[in-house]
Amino acid sequence: MSDSALMADKRQLCTFSSGDGCYAVDVLDVREVNTETDVTPVSHAPKGVRGLVNVRGQVFLIFDIGLLLGYGTSGVSEKSRLVLFKERVGPTFGILVDAVGDILEFRTSELVTRRRSEALVANEHDPNAHTEMDGLIRGVCKFEEQLVVLLEPRRLLEV
Amino acid sequence: MFDVDEMIEEFLAEAQEHRAQIEELLLGMEQCAPHELSKMVNELFRAVHSIKGAAGTVELDNICDLTHAMETELSKVREGELSVSSELISALLGALDVLGSMLDHIDEQERIDTAPAIARLTCCSSGQESDTSEPQRTQECPEPESNPGTASSCEAERSGSELSAAVVETFVANSSSEGQRKSVNESIRVPVWALDSLMALAGELVLVRNRQLQSIDERLRTDRNNVSSMDRQLAQQLDLVTSEIQEAVLRTRMQPIGIAFQKLPRLCRDLANKLGKRIAYKVSGSETEVDKTILECLSDPLMHLVRNSCDHGLGAPSERSKAGKEPTGTVSVSAHQDGGQIVIRVQDDGRGIDPQRVGQKAVENGVCRPEELAGMSDKQVCMLIFSPGFSTASTVSDISGRGVGMDVVKTSIEKIGGSVDVFSKLGEGTTFSMRVPLTLAIVSSLIVRCGKSCFAIPQVNLEEVVCLHDEEVFQNVEFINNSPSYRLRGQLLPLVYLEDVLGHRDSIPKSALLERRNFFESFPPNSLTFAVVRLGTQSFGIVVDEAIGTEEIVVKPNHPILSKVRCFVGTTVLGDGRIALILDVNGVAQHASIESRFCEDGSEQETISRPKEVLSQLAFTLNGEDLCMFPLSLISRIISIYTDSIDEVGGIRTVNLDGDSIRVVDIAKHLGEPVGSDSGEMALILPRHIKRSVGFLCKRVLDIKQVEKMPSSETHLHPAILGSFVLDGKLGLMLDMFALARCEEPSWFESEKFEGDRRVIPRRVLLAEDTGFFRRVVGAYLVELGYHVEIVEDGQLAADKLRLHDHGFDVLISDLEMPNLDGFGLIEKLRRGSDWEHCRSLPAMAMSSLSSPEVQKKAIALGFDLYELKLNRESLRDSLEELLGQSRHRSHAA
């Protein structure tokens, strides 16, 4: 494998926890991680929308990742964070997560895509959530002994 | 390096500017003074040439060819080979239109056929070259002042009068187009998103400032010495600069309103040609600045109004001459700022609007009813032209007259928070006046709280805020179909709980309304706050937890994910950093089905003004399909019980409820219906007015129905059935609670009979009641109680009977809503009328199906001794006893 191919293959992931699982998004999609957790709920909003939050004058739409993955509504604790995405991912939005973890580096070739990993991530809590959010999960990769589920934030906006 | 796409975009922006300039010049050429003509032709040439050149570089050949043809003609004019005729200008305008459509659909420009336009252009020059007799107005044409001989006298005259008008006319493009070019040089093109983000940042800065000011205040309060004068000064400066930045950023979004006026002169010209009228177009105030979004919404309404003025407003030259006016009609468009609003007027000096004709047409078109029309002022009649479906034109032309347009104008202006008005004087002209806000980006709003969240109600929708306290709440709020209404200055105002709207994703279910009502009636709130908002011509109230105050908010559009949420138009960040959603009054109204409630309330209002009664009935089912009903006013509450919790001792079934033993009356059993043997959940209806502890058992409680038609007076199989009728395709039975109770336990009512029998001389009752059903039921009941009853059908008949001195009645029972003379009028006569002096102390009881405390108060105030709800037997009996006992006293004393 050539150097440039290696470079292209290498990715950094921003990991976070939600419910019982460890998840990640591509770090290049992330605009910032914010400690603000005062989310204003929006009545009649589509399922999975937690509400709106004011981040320095800009209003972000926040998804409840726990709800979408079938864990139920995420509670808010001191460790809770907002992961906000860049404009190129979609218009001002982010997700509420239980805690953020490390930045991990991995090779895309190591990613086990969903089809093969279906058994691993199939959600026993709510099988409907699984089909509803088809495509939200890009795949699973292994770090030491932990499995990290890689998410595709762009899919959130397609609800 | 630019890529091709970027270059094309650049080209388009530039070409559009030139296109607008060309149109303006072409239209100006027709009317300008000859000495200005050459200058204008030069400018025209330059503009066309620029487009041609730029199109060449981006290889848009089709555009190149067309502009080349235009340029050729123009150069001929410049060389003096061709004169400026209206044919030439029309041909050039035609070519410009083709050019415009190519620019608008740049991807498909190759497919647009330019040949006819080019042919028309060349035809102009070839045709004219042979026709030398036509007077020439070319570049070489000497100025008429220096050499009047070459120009026809008519032309000289024209140029003279035109010159004086030049100050106000945009056609005289020299000054304005030069001004425009200057501004083009001094400005740069900035994409809108850049301005929007600048706007967001400015908003952010405002928040930072607010926090800074708060913290300084805080420190000043706690420890004065801790704050240096420097700190305070800095805070003040920050405050000032921030406000200025916000203002400046807002200004960047402002554009001269003239942009929306651009298409109008051309429209006037085309219409004048088409309609054979002579129309002068005048404009003023086109430099007035208005927000970009508003500007975009103004263009179509303006076109409609100008089209309307040209078509309907102005008459043909002959007609005008006859009326003693100049043959040339004038359409003038003006704009000016008035506070936070822009006022735009479209004025014509035509025929004016004839209210009589409008009224007649409105009736013909089905816009309003003749009786409605009769009560309208001329001004109101004029406003009818904005109604959907209205058209005065007797024939439909392709210009206007289809009856769409004016209502579209109104709705699109109202959509941006503006209003339209019309002033007209028959024979003198018509003025349409539109008021629109300066900007949509910042709106003044009422901030309200509902639960933990704040919401903003835009001031444009808001009429007033009402806050009721203590007994006001209970006295003034009425329930219609379980939906609360408030009587605001005589008008029924439907109320909607914001909490209910937000809490239910689709529409508000009936169960929620019922729950709300029950809660309201069992725990009357100490205070009730609602914002009265306008919805077209109607208003309704949005009940909130608290009205916090007004604030100038910066509107942020909804996130695309939320675009389907119809209750909110956008979001804003409040001064303290919290987020507030901006309510869409229309959306809220739709969600709460307010429109249908206006109709219901309308019918409810009719029942007050007209003698027609509505009874609220609780509908429930027994084991079968049939609906059964009890009057709602007689019910205290409904509980659900399980059949196995009913104890049965010696055929008497009771249930223990909060320590009380309640006798259970199985309605099905008494009506001879199959008795449900299966155990399970049933409903027990507890009556309000029966003194015994009794509950009526039914299978399931359905809903509350408004019954307008009283049941037919046929005889029924069972004494407990008051009547039957068909409701929603099902048979409904109106049941008599008291009869059912008597079926269950005849002994309860024995004392009643005894008292009845004891009376040696039966008391005479006059019953005034217009509804047959009630006459029958109440009459029968009174007879049962041992009274002698005489029944009349309205208040007038009752009054006539009582006018006789020896009428012999002991008591009057009167309905309130009746034809001819209602209960209020009747008692008024008895208590104060000169013919009824002998009736001053006649005991009188009002009986109504309305449980409104206001009606009750009014009835008592006018002189009724008592107020009873209909179909409440026990209470009626006791009240009658009481009344007659009193009167006995009274007569004894006398």
Average pLDDT over every residue of B17-40: 80
Identity of residue B207: L
- pLDDT recorded at residue B678: 58
- Among the residue ranges A5-14, B269-278, B574-583, the one predicted with the least confidence is A5-14
Most confident of A61-70, B21-30, B73-82, B732-741: A61-70
Would you tell me which residues 101-140 of chain A have a C-beta closer than 8 angstroms to some C-beta of chain B?
none
How many CB pairs (< 8 A) connect A and B? Answer: 66
Residue B602 reports pLDDT greater than 60: no
**Span B374-394, pLDDT tens digits:** 777 777 788 888 877 776 554
Region of B688 please: left (phi>0), alpha (psi -120 to 50) or beta: alpha
- pLDDT recorded at residue A24: 92
- pLDDT recorded at residue B161: 41
Check if A54 contacts B (Cβ < 8 Å): yes
Which residue of chain A has the CA closest to B196? A58
Give me the helix-helix angle, B229-252 and B192-222, nearest 10°. Answer: 160
- pLDDT recorded at residue B50: 80
Q: Do B204 and A58 touch (CB under 8 A)?
A: yes
- pLDDT recorded at residue B530: 92
- pLDDT recorded at residue A133: 56
Average pLDDT over every residue of B73-78: 81
- pLDDT recorded at residue B212: 80
Where is B751: in which H helix or E strand? Answer: helix B750-758
- DSSP 8-state symbol, B312: I
Residue B717 reports pLDDT greater than 80: no
| ipTM for the assembly | 0.84
A53 pLDDT band, cuts 50/70/90, is very high
- pLDDT recorded at residue B525: 82
Residue predicted with more confidence, B882 or A118: B882
Residue B130 reports pLDDT greater than 80: no
B3 pLDDT band, cuts 50/70/90, is low
B418 pLDDT band, cuts 50/70/90, is confident
Task: Please say whether the dihedral angle defined by the alpha carbons of residues B240, B241, B243 and B248, taken in this order, is positive or negative.
Answer: positive
Check if A57 contacts B (Cβ < 8 Å): yes
Decide: helix, strand or coil at residue A2.
coil
Cα–Cα distance, A151 to A132 (Å, whole number): 14
- Is residue A34 packed enough to be buried (19+ CB in 10 Å), middle (13-18) or exposed (0-12)? middle
A82 pLDDT band, cuts 50/70/90, is very high
- pLDDT recorded at residue B311: 82
B580 pLDDT band, cuts 50/70/90, is very high
- pLDDT recorded at residue B454: 93
Averaged pLDDT score across all residues of chain B: 76
- pLDDT recorded at residue A29: 92
Chain B contacts to A (CB-CB under 8 A): 200-201, 203-205, 207, 453, 501-503, 505, 556, 559-562, 564-568, 571, 573, 577-581
Most confident of A65-74, B147-156, B589-598: A65-74
Which residue of chain B has the CA closest to A60? B559
- Among the residue ranges A117-126, B194-203, B475-484, the one predicted with the least confidence is A117-126
Percent of chain A at pLDDT > 90 equals: 26
Residue predicted with more confidence, A77 or B133: A77
- pLDDT recorded at residue B665: 84
Cα–Cα distance, B270 to B93 (Å, whole number): 10
| Å between B201 CA and nearest CA of chain A | 7
Residue listed under structure tokens 């009240």: B879
For the CA atoms of B232, B198, B342, B456, the dihedral, rounded to the nearest 10 degrees, stands at -70
CB contacts, 8 Å: A54 with chain B: 573, 577-579
A61 pLDDT band, cuts 50/70/90, is very high
Average pLDDT over every residue of B593-606: 55
Report the Cα A22 to chain-centroid distance in Å.
9
B856 pLDDT band, cuts 50/70/90, is confident
Q: Do A49 and B503 touch (CB under 8 A)?
A: no
- pLDDT recorded at residue A14: 93
Residue B176 reports pLDDT greater than 60: no
Residue predicted with more confidence, B17 or A28: A28
A16 pLDDT band, cuts 50/70/90, is very high
- pLDDT recorded at residue A62: 94
- Span between the terminal Cα atoms of chain B, in Å: 113
Residue A4 reports pLDDT greater than 60: no
Name residues whose C-beta falls within 8 Å of residue B553's C-beta, 6 or more positions apart in sequence: B442, B443, B444, B445, B447, B456, B572, B574, B580, B582
Average pLDDT over every residue of B797-808: 81
Q: Do B565 and A159 touch (CB under 8 A)?
A: no
Average pLDDT over every residue of B135-145: 39
**Span B426-473, pLDDT tens digits:** 888 889 988 888 777 777 889 999 988 999 998 888 888 988 887 777
Residue B750 reports pLDDT greater than 70: no
Of the partner residues A40, A56, A159, the one whose CB lies closest to the CB of residue B579: A40
B2 pLDDT band, cuts 50/70/90, is very low
Check if A75 contacts B (Cβ < 8 Å): no
Percent of chain B at pLDDT > 70 equals: 81
- pLDDT recorded at residue B392: 57
Q: Do A59 and B564 touch (CB under 8 A)?
A: no
Q: From B644, B652, B640, select the one nearest B679 (Cα to Cα).
A: B644
- pLDDT recorded at residue B698: 83
Cα–Cα distance, B60 to B617 (Å, whole number): 76
Most confident of B407-411, B430-434, B821-825, B845-849: B430-434
